[in-house]
Amino acid sequence: MIVECQKCGAPLSVVEGVRLVQCTYCGATSQVRSGRTIAQPQYPPPPQQPYPVPPQQPYPVQPPPYVYRPAPPGSGKAGGPVAAIVIVGALTALAGVGAVVALSTSGGSVFRTTLSPTAQATVETIPIGAAEPLSRLIPGVAGGPVRGGSVSTSCRGYFPVAPQYALRVTAMQRVRLTTVGNQDLTMAVRDPSGVYRCDDDGGQGSNPLLDLPLAPGLYPVWIGTYRQRYTAGFSLQVQTGEPGAAAFDSALSLTAPPTLGRLPLFGPTTVATRTGIAGGIVAASTLGNNCRGYIPAAPHLVLDAADYRRVVLVTAASRDLTMVVRDASGAFRCDDDSGGSSQPRVETTLSPGAHQVWIGTYSANDSANFTLSVQSQSAGSTPPLAGGISPQSRPTVSVLDLDRAPATTTLRGSIVGTLRAAEVATSCRGYLTAAPQLRLVTGTPRRVSITATSGTDLTMLARGPNGDVVCADDSPGSTNPTIEADIAAGETTIWIGSYGGSSRASFRVQVTLEPGGPTRPVK
C-alpha cells in the first residue's frame, strides 16, 4: 500500500502490517498509524513543444565571450574555461567555404594562448621551388583567439592557433604574400629559426603584405583579423620570383602558369567551362582606358588556338566581374558588363597561338567564385579582317541563296557589337560582331538592295567575293543603313553594326533583288 511521509508528504510504499517506514526522499521516519492508503499520483504528460530552431546568425559569426574560472588558491592547478566552444559558419562571399573557430580544453587545461607552428596547415601546404614562378589566389578564413602581441610586439590582430597555410620552400626564392579582402586583416609568418614577421596594412586598403626572401624550409602562415572575436573571408595571393629579384610591384605576371590550366582550341567547335576565384591586386585600368576592375597577377586560363578561332568568353557569378584577354600578339582586350547581370563577355577572333585570360572583380579588395564559359569555332586558316572581324565565321542570321530566293527576303536578328568597324576601313562606322549576320550566295552577278531597320542607330558593312568593302551608316532622313550594290558571283558577307557599341540591338534586315544596271559594285 501507499502512505504519505509525515514530514514531506512524499508517497511511500509499505508492506501490510509494518508500523515504521523511512522516507527515501527526506530521510524522516514515520509511524504508520492508520494505515490508510492514498491514490497513486497521476502526472499529465508534458505538452508537446516544437524543437526550437536557433535564429539565423548574420555573417560574420561572432564567437561568444570566453568564460574563464580561476582554480582555488593553493590547488596547484591552472584555471580553465568552463566549456568548449565550437563555431561553424558559412561564408557566402566564398560560396560555402566553412569558417571554424575552435576553442577547446583537454583534461581541464587552459585555452591555447599562442600559435602552434607545428600544427598542420588548415587550408593548404604550398610547395615553392625554382622551377617556374608561382602566382596563386587561395581562399581562406581569418581570425582566432590568439593575440598577435603575445607572439611578437610587431604583430597585430587575432590569429587562429593552427596556421591556415604553410610554404614549403625547396630553393631560395623571393615570395610576396598579400590578402584580397574587404575586412581589416593581419598576417604573421614564422621562419624555420622561430622568428615571426608580421604586417597589418602594408597591402591595398586594410590588407597585409609581406615581401620576403625565403631560404629553404617550412614557413607557417597565419591570417588574422584586427578585431577580436571576429572571422572574415579572404583570398591569399602568393607570388614567387628569382632570389635576386626586386620587390614585386602590382603588375601582371605574364610568364606565370595559368591557375586553371590551358585549354586547346581545335576542330570545328570547342565548348568548355572552368571555375575559379576572381579578383586580385592588379588594377586593370593600367592596361588600357577601357579596362576595369582588379585582376590577379597570374592569368586564370591560357587558350591555345590551333587555327583562327571565333571565340566567345562569358562569366557567371553573383558579383560584378570584369575580364581581360591578352592575345598572342600582346594586345589587350577588356570588358565589363557586356554579358548582362554585371558579367563580362568578350567576343573576338583569335589567331593561332597562346592567349591569356584574367577574370577580375569590379571592386578593389574583393574576390568571388565564377564559372567561365568558352565557346570557339574554327574560322579557317586565312587571317580575318582587321579588328578581329572574321568573314569565315558562320553567319548568325542566315545564308541566303540569291539564285533561289524571292524578290524580297526579310530576316530578323540581334547583335552586341564590340569591334570597331573603323579598323576595317576608315569610312566605316559603329561596332560590329566578329561573325557576320548574312552571307549572300549567287552564281551570277546581281544588283541587290540591303536595308537594316531598328529602334537604335545601326551601321552596315559588306565584303564582296574579291575582298572589297562597302560601308553605310545613315540613309537620308533615317538612322537606318542601306547598301545598293552590284555583287559579283560568289559569296558576299554582310555585317550589321550598332553606332554605339557593347549594347544589344534587335534589327530587321531586308534583301531585295533589283533589276537594272550597275550601281556600286562589290567585287
Residue-wise pLDDT for 351-382, tens only, equals 899 999 999 999 988 888 999 999 998 877 76
Residue 325 β-bridge partners: 333, 357
- pLDDT given at position 308: 86
Amino acid letter, 38: I
Flag whether pLDDT at 85 surpasses 50.
Answer: no
Q: Mean pLDDT across the chain, nearest whole number?
A: 80
Strand-pair category, 482-487 with 521-522: parallel
For 148, phi and psi rounded to 5 degrees?
A: -60, -35
Q: For 388, which DSSP code?
A: G
In percent, the amount of the chain with pLDDT more than 90 equals 45
What pLDDT band is residue 30 in, cutting at 50, 70 and 90? confident
CATH no. of 389-522? 2.60.120.380
CATH no. of 59-248? 2.60.120.380
Residue 3 β-bridge partners: 12
What pLDDT band is residue 473 in, cutting at 50, 70 and 90? very high
Percentages of the chain per state (helix, strand, coil), in multiples of 5: 5, 45, 55
Question: Which CB contacts under 8 angstroms, 24+ apart, belong to 251-254?
Answer: 251/282, 251/286, 251/297, 252/282, 252/287, 252/295, 252/297, 252/299, 252/358, 253/133, 253/135, 253/297, 253/298, 254/299, 254/326, 254/356
- pLDDT given at position 111: 43
- pLDDT given at position 110: 38
Amino acid letter, 303: L
- pLDDT given at position 347: 85
Each residue's pLDDT tens digit, 504-513:
899 999 999 9
- Confirm if 399 and 439 have CB atoms less than 8 A apart: yes
Strand-pair category, 185-190 with 196-199: antiparallel
Domains 59-248 and 262-378 share a fold: yes
Question: Which CB contacts under 8 angstroms, 24+ apart, belong to 76-79?
Answer: 77/108, 78/109, 78/110, 79/110
- pLDDT given at position 84: 33
Average pLDDT over residues 292-320: 92
- pLDDT given at position 108: 36
- pLDDT given at position 59: 40
Tell me how far apart the alpha carbons of residues 304 and 328 are, in angstroms, rounded to a whole number.
9
- Confirm if 335 and 343 have CB atoms less than 8 A apart: no
- pLDDT given at position 255: 83
CATH no. of 262-378? 2.60.120.380
- pLDDT given at position 33: 64
Tell me how far apart the alpha carbons of residues 253 and 248 are, in angstroms, rounded to a whole number.
10
HEC secondary structure over 298-334: CCCEEEEECCCEEEEEEEECCCCEEEEEECCCCCEEE
Flag whether pLDDT at 303 surpasses 50.
Answer: yes
- pLDDT given at position 50: 46
What pLDDT band is residue 478 in, cutting at 50, 70 and 90? confident
- pLDDT given at position 129: 86
Flag whether pLDDT at 106 surpasses 80.
Answer: no
Q: Which residue bears the cell 567575293?
A: 465
What pLDDT band is residue 427 in, cutting at 50, 70 and 90? confident
Residue 461 β-bridge partners: 471, 495
For 398, phi and psi rounded to 5 degrees?
A: -165, 155
What pLDDT band is residue 241 in, cutting at 50, 70 and 90? confident
Flag whether pLDDT at 218 surpasses 90.
Answer: yes
Each residue's pLDDT tens digit, 391-414:
878 899 999 999 999 999 999 999
- Of 15-19, 234-238, 302-306, the range with the lowest mean pLDDT is 15-19
Tell me how far apart the alpha carbons of residues 4 and 21 are, in angstroms, rounded to a whole number.
10
Average pLDDT over residues 176-182: 90
What pLDDT band is residue 418 in, cutting at 50, 70 and 90? confident
Average pLDDT over residues 441-449: 92
Contacts with 454 (C-beta within 8 Å, 6 or more apart), sequence order: 480, 505, 506, 507, 508
- pLDDT given at position 247: 52
Flag whether pLDDT at 91 surpasses 70.
Answer: no
Closest CA to 346 of 377, 315, 369, 308: 315
This prediction's pTM: 0.53
* All structural domains of the chain with their residue ranges: 2-31, 59-248, 262-378, 389-522
| Cα 284 to Cα 363, 405, 431, distances in angstroms | 11, 49, 23
